[in-house]
Structure 1
Amino acid sequence: MSKVRKTNDGYLMLLDAVYFRGLRLGNISEEGIEWAGEDAQTLELWAAQNRTSPVKEVETRAATNEVTGKMIECVAQNLKTLLGGKVDGERWDAPATTMIQEGELKILTGTGSTIDIHRSALRTSQLRGGLGGENTLGVNFGFKMLAPLDGGSPFSIYPTAPFIESDTERLQFPAAGGAQMVDIEASGRFAVGAVPDGFSVEIINGRVTIVAEANTSAAERTGEIEFVLEEDTSKKIVVSLTQSAA
């Protein structure tokens, strides 16, 4: 995970995590991500009296920025984030049609910097690869940077400050029990506090699943779980849990 540094030396290297609309994309292939795009297009204006060089050059289309890569951790939720479709437990069903999604893209580098692309379009995503040997299936993705709707800056680069955030503060479970995911964004590793009776926590590559056992009592089951950023224990979030009575 990210190494938060007090000083920023300006070198953007290594990759710790990529988040799209607050959801972690899953592990990326060892090649990492590529920042590319198309060069600007220009129009040259020539004068009859000057045949050695143009008298003016006008930009007709600005350069574009696109982030591409391959996500290889093909669990159900990761596939849904990039390709859409439906998730039922650990099963993923592909969508009937492709779609273009828009949202914020956040990239955490391994050298302590954050890149925020404030509006991007996930315009290319498809399952590609092979099976056998060292080949692996994965999702090739391409995020095209778009102009922000408020006319502001399209992206920002800044030193990563310690942070931990979640997409929810409260989970409700039926009496029969079940599992629910909590999407957590964090600048580094985080620890889990005491887990209430009747619940358990599974963490795989930073993705958190909270599991509730069946509640056979006549009383509602409640509790809370605290997630604490290891590098700065003052940064924490609390998720409240409620489970219906039998």
Structure 2
Amino acid sequence: MPRLLFRFLAHLAAFVLTLSATAARADEVQVAVAANFTAPMQKIAALFAQDTGHKAVLAFGSTGKFYAQIKNGAPFEVLLAADDETPARLEQEGAGLAGSHFTYAIGKLVLWSAQPGVVDEAGEVLRRGNFAHLSLANPKLAPYGAAGIEAMQALGVYDALAPKIVQAENIGQAYQFVASGNAQLGFVAYSQVLDEQGKFKGGSMWMVPAKLYRPIRQDAVVLTKGTAGSQPKPAVAALMQYLQGEKARAVIQTYGYGL
């Protein structure tokens, strides 16, 4: 066999072995993500794949529905919840790895309209009530929906506005109701009205004062399906570590979350 051909085949074999080893190390992580965290997590997942070779397979929805699905055997390995209570509860019930949960973001609630001039900077539009529909995520399933209820109760306007509430399944749908014009305004996550550069997408909004609702501490937790024995699977551990790293934190802050 000619020497050049032999060297080529040797290099090719080494290349194939390297690819095989990389593929063996790379893995997928099944992640349930609170709907409010859709945009930032899509960006973080792309960076995670680029930097680690692992792929985060994402599903978005309400924290309450994810809890029920996890308890019924859904194949999720990590939960990024919209609260801190659900991850702690999953750990206590044995569906989450004990001691694995941590706060990855602190959410902020806004009252938003896709139309300029509808929502004033003081939120007085809620007292005036001169609108037909107010979008709100199901407070039993979505922490941002519960925060909206708390804010209206604190302002003393809930009873008057209750008949105007259009209830959405999750915060993503609550946003869509407002964006589509089916509701003139609604309570959504601050992250939803910001673009990738952290700039306001448009319309009008009021940043709801944090004193009007309980802090929205959003926790991540390793689920039992993401473990091997008593430890997280390598790809799961890599994702949990990545969420606490500089690149992920920068994305989280760009989308208006606290850390």
TM-score (norm: length of structure 1) = 0.24
The one of the two structures with greater contact order (alpha-carbon pairs below 8 A, sep at least 6) is 2
Of Structure 1 and Structure 2, which has the larger fraction of its residues in strand? 1
TM-score normalised to the size of structure 2?
0.23
